[in-house]
């Protein structure tokens, strides 16, 4: 089987020694007094050990003719028994065993409202078992307590030993880690407990050469979960933090313990009982129909007594962990078993009652299996793991020590059924046997040391403080002793004197042999230690040599690193100087930048002032120009009106000429106007003709007739005469050469007359290599540029040039011409151009005349004026 990595194999549980003496579980019965003496009772004590259970009338057992049942216990305490008497008979032997180095368990068992908590706690005037146990323990070890923190918990259910100096350091650390908090205001019940009457009993079997420390812990088992009642949890009234449950673990001795539970080291019974009251406030209690303060959980108050022998002088604790003795007394207050029909519990109370009954039933099952295994010799597995309560009690039932139970009985007749089960289980528990604690053997160390050395050391220390002197001189008398001194022999003939002397000599001889054997063992141990020390010395020498070599290598490495460090420091210093220089340069540049910004801000302010002045001037100039333009416009309007009057006169004359028949005949006779059509044109004149002489054969021509000029009848037809401007020169773009049109995106298009006419053009975005070089390369290049002039009109500039081949095989452009196109509105009246009357009728002429007249009234817009600049 392969070993498991990372896990230490557990030690097998120690087998019980053969012929071990066992004692039964001692069960005591205590009857609670009735609240009303007139009530019927079902339990009656017959003697100090026998109690009789009588079924009351009307109960189910009485109907079934059940008879009286008698139960026998270790001792029966009637309702008149005092708390002191109960403690002396039941708990005081357990306290004596605890001081002597033995374990003990005491728990109260019974139904709800049977007096379990009262038996365990009592009242301030008449304390119960728990406060009296604390009083007796501290009364017995009053002068034998160790300094605080000498025994330190190892968190594994054990303790370590520290010297006084280490204990003082540990104590100072605890004081700094846990600052003092103001004590909360005590309740009335707690104030009464402060004034309680302590028990004055003292146990005289305490070893005077040992020192003791008391540790207490308080837990509760609620709904099968373990909670620490002494845990320091910060109380938040707004968001209270729920308590954390604890787990059970097994220590190296196979004993079950609560892992991580708070163990307080207490130095007085008041301090211990204050811790108990603190946990009692946190314990879960509730109001039921049978009890106003019913315990809803099982509480376990553990008292652990740690003791260790003193050294040879009796000054300090012997620094040997193997000499420690750790014993425990557990006081358990079990929650009461109850029936839901009587308590009428619901909700959480019902769930709590179910868990309580389940744990008690598991305890009964464990007791049954234990009894069966011991009485019948079977080897059944005890179901300790069913509940946390039984698993925690495992160390007591299978270990050594004493287990005692107090059965609390309420003799009221209504509790007969529950009391019957409780008493039957209690009587059956007495059949379980528990191994008796074996006496602690005296070690050779304690045999060889002088008895009472602790008392002698304390007396010597007191004398040193009071009278002065050297402590070592007072402790100088022999540390070791062979026994008591020889008895005084008065009569040598007395045989008893000789026997006493012989017995003293035998004791001294045995003690001497024990000391010699102990000395031999110590010598062997010392010799072995010397051998081990020599081996360690040789190994340490080798390790020292190796460490020296490593140290030399490290020294060389450190030197090289120091050299690198010095160079790095030098480099760092240079970089620091550069950083300083750059910072100074930065400050200078920032200063200059601030000056530039200041100058820029001043320039901006001046620009703003100039802009405002220019705007004011512009507004003034615009107003002046507006007035000038208005004046010129008025002059032009007057001039136009004069011209329109003149033109109107001419048009009137022309209208008269056209309307005059004689003038038309004259023009026709001279061959200057069109002739009237004869028969071919008559159908067209039927709707516009008017007979003035009454004859239909003679055609009459008037301006109102719809006649046409007959071009074919004219002997010499007239041709249109072209209108030309001798000062206008045609643009080069009207030729047949190939042009490259460079027009930026977003240019405005105008469908006007004066636009460059380039028949062969190609956009600059669609050029190819053959368009620049080759036979069909472009000869001209035109660049279109549009901008706004000072008057707000759009001005188009056409930069023209010749495309010339370059020496590198490409092409270059030489600009030599600029055409500027401006769009303006005409200021002069529209003049009729001279056109021929060929192909025109009278209606066409009149229409043209009307257009001319309309043009004088409202000149057309969209004309273009152009100028050309030749380089």
Which parts are annotated binding residues for ATP? 110-117
Cα-to-chain-centroid distance, residue 255: 39
Neighbours of 612 (CB within 10 A): 10
DSSP designation for 850: H
Please name which of 258, 299, 305, 334 lies closest in space to residue 134, comparing C-alpha atoms.
305
Work out the burial of residue 366: count CB atoms within 10 Å of its CB; fewer than 13 is exposed, 13-18 middle, 19 or more buried: buried
Q: Which residue do the tokens 């339990």 mark?
A: 43
- 471 and 460 Cβ atoms separated by less than 8 Å: yes
E strand intervals along 223-293: 225-228, 245-246, 248-250, 256-258, 264-266, 285-286
Q: 116 and 108 in contact (C-beta within 8 Å)?
A: yes
* Cα–Cα nearest to 855, from 831, 834, 837: 831
Q: What token pair was written down for 39?
A: 């009530």
Nearest residue to 831 (alpha-carbon basis) of 818, 813, 808, 848: 848
What is the spatial distance between Cα 149 and Cα 162, in angstroms, rounded to a whole number? Answer: 8
Whole-angstrom distance, CA of residue 420 vs CA of residue 425? 9
Please measure the distance between the N-terminal and C-terminal CA atoms of the chain and give it in whole angstroms. Answer: 113
**φ and ψ at residue 711, rounded to 5 degrees:** -75, -30
On whether the CB atoms of residues 387 and 359 are closer than 8 A, the answer is yes
Compute the distance between CA of residue 28 and CA of residue 75 in angstroms, rounded to an integer: 5
What are the distances in angstroms from CA 454 to CA 119, 145, 568, 577, 855? 38, 11, 66, 74, 144
User: Six-digit token pair at 795?
Assistant: 């001005």
Bridge pairing between strands 738-742 and 50-53: unpaired
CA distance 409 to 69: 15
| Region of 121 on the Ramachandran plot (φ > 0 left; ψ -120 to 50 alpha; else beta) | alpha
Contact 51, 423 (CB under 8 A): yes
Distance between CA 226 and CA 387 in Å, rounded? 11
Q: Do residues 397 and 426 touch, judged by C-beta distance below 8 A?
A: no
| Neighbour-count burial of 122, counting CB atoms closer than 10 A to its CB (0-12 exposed, 13-18 middle, 19+ buried) | buried
* Strand 159-161 with 151-153, pairing: antiparallel
**b/e map 657-690, b = 16+ CB within 10 Å:** eeeeeeebeeeeeeeebbbbbeeebeeebeeebe
Distance CA 606, CA 601 (A): 9
Task: Dump strand ranges (E) for 223-374.
Answer: 225-228, 245-246, 248-250, 256-258, 264-266, 285-286, 294-295, 298-309, 325-333
With beta carbons less than 8 A apart as the criterion, state whether 404 and 1 touch: no
For 32-55, the three-class secondary structure string (H helix, E strand, C coil) is CCCCCCCCCECEEECCCCEEEECC
- C-alpha 561/C-alpha 557 separation (Å) is 6
Query: Residue 823 pairs with which residues in a beta bridge?
Result: 864
């Amino acid at each position: 089987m392969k070993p498991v990595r990372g896990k230490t194999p557990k030690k097998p549980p120690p087998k019980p020694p053969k012929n071990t003496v066992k004692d039964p579980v001692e069960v005591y019965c205590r009857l609670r007094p009735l609240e009303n003496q007139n009530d019927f009772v079902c339990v009656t004590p017959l003697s100090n050990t026998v109690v009789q259970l009588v079924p009351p009338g009307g109960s189910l057992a009485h109907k079934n003719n059940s008879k009286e049942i008698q139960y026998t216990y270790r001792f029966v305490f009637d309702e008149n028994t005092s708390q002191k008497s109960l403690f002396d008979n039941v708990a005081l032997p357990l306290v004596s065993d605890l001081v002597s180095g033995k374990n003990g368990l005491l728990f109260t068992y019974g139904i709800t409202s049977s007096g379990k908590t009262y038996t365990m706690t009592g009242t301030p005037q008449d304390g119960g078992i728990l406060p009296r146990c604390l009083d007796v323990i501290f009364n017995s070890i009053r002068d034998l307590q160790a300094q605080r923190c000498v025994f330190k918990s190892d968190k594994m259910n054990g303790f370590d030993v520290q010297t006084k100096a280490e204990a003082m350091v540990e104590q100072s650390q605890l004081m700094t880690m846990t600052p003092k908090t103001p004590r909360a205001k005590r309740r009335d019940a707690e104030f009464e407990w402060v004034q309680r009457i302590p028990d004055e009993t003292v146990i005289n079997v305490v070893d005077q050469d040992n020192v003791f420390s008391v540790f207490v812990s308080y837990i509760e088992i609620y709904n099968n979960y373990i909670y620490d009642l002494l845990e320091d949890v910060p109380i938040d009234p707004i968001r209270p933090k729920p308590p954390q449950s604890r787990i059970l673990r097994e220590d190296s001795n196979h004993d079950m313990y609560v892992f991580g539970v708070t163990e307080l080291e207490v130095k007085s019974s008041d301090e211990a009982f204050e811790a108990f009251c603190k946990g009692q406030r946190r314990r879960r209690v509730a109001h039921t129909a049978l009890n106003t303060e019913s315990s809803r959980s099982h509480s376990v108050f553990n008292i652990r007594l740690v003791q260790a022998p003193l050294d040879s002088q009796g000054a300090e604790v012997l620094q040997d962990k193997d000499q420690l003795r750790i014993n425990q007394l557990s006081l358990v207050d079990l929650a009461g078993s109850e029936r839901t029909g009587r308590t009428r519990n619901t909700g959480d109370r019902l769930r709590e009652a179910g868990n309580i009954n389940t744990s008690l039933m598991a305890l009964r099952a464990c007791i049954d299996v234990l009894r069966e295994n011991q009485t019948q010799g079977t080897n059944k597995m005890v179901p300790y793991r069913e509940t946390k309560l039984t698993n925690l009690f495992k160390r007591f039932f299978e270990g050594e020590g004493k287990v005692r139970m107090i059965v609390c009985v309420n003799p009221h007749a209504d509790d007969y059924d529950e009391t019957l089960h409780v008493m039957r289980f209690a009587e059956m528990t007495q059949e379980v046997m528990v191994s008796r604690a074996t006496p602690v053997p005296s070690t050779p160390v304690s045999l060889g040391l002088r008895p009472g050395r602790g008392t002698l050391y304390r007396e010597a220390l007191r004398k040193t403080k009071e009278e002065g002197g050297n402590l070592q001189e007072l402790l100088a008398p022999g540390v070791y002793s062979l026994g008591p001194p020889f008895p005084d022999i008065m009569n040598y003939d007395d045989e008893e004197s000789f026997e006493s002397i012989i017995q003293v000599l035998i004791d001294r001889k045995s003690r001497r042999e024990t000391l010699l054997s102990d000395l031999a063992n110590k010598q062997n141990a010392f010799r072995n230690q010397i051998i081990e020390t020599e081996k360690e010395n040789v190994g340490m020498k080798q390790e020292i040599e190796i460490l020296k070599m490593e140290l030399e290598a490290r020294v060389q490495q450190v030197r090289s690193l120091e050299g690198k460090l010095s160079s790095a420091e030098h480099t760092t210093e240079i970089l620091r100087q550069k950083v300083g220089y750059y910072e100074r340069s930065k400050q200078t540049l920032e200063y200059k930048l601030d000056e530039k910004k200041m100058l820029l801000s001043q320039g901006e302010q001046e620009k703003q002032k100039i802009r405002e002045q220019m705007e004011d001037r512009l507004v003034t100039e615009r107003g002046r120009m507006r007035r000038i333009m208005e004046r010129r416009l008025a002059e032009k309007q007057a001039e136009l009106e004069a011209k329109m009057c003149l033109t109107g006169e001419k048009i009137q004359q022309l209208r008269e000429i056209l309307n005059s028949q004689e003038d038309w005949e004259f023009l026709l006779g001279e061959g200057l106007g069109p002739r009237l059509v004869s028969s071919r044109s008559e159908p067209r004149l039927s709707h516009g003709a008017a007979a003035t002489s009454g004859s239909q054969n003679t055609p009459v021509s008037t301006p109102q007739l719809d006649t046409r000029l007959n071009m074919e009848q004219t002997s010499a037809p007239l041709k249109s005469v072209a209108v030309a401007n001798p000062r206008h020169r045609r643009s080069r773009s009207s030729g047949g050469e190939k042009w490259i049109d460079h027009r930026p995106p977003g240019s405005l298009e105008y469908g006007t007359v004066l636009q460059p006419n380039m028949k062969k053009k190609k956009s600059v975005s669609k050029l190819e290599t053959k368009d620049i070089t080759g036979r069909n390369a472009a000869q001209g290049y035109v660049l279109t540029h549009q901008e706004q002039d000072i008057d707000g009109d759009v001005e188009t500039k056409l930069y023209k040039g010749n495309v010339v081949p370059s020496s590198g095989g490409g092409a270059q452009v030489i600009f030599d011409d600029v055409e500027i196109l401006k769009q303006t509105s005409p200021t002069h009246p529209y003049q009729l151009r001279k056109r021929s009357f060929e192909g025109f009728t009278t209606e066409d002429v009149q229409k043209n005349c009307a257009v001319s007249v309309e043009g004088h009234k409202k000149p057309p817009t969209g004309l273009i004026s152009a100028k050309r600049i030749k380089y």
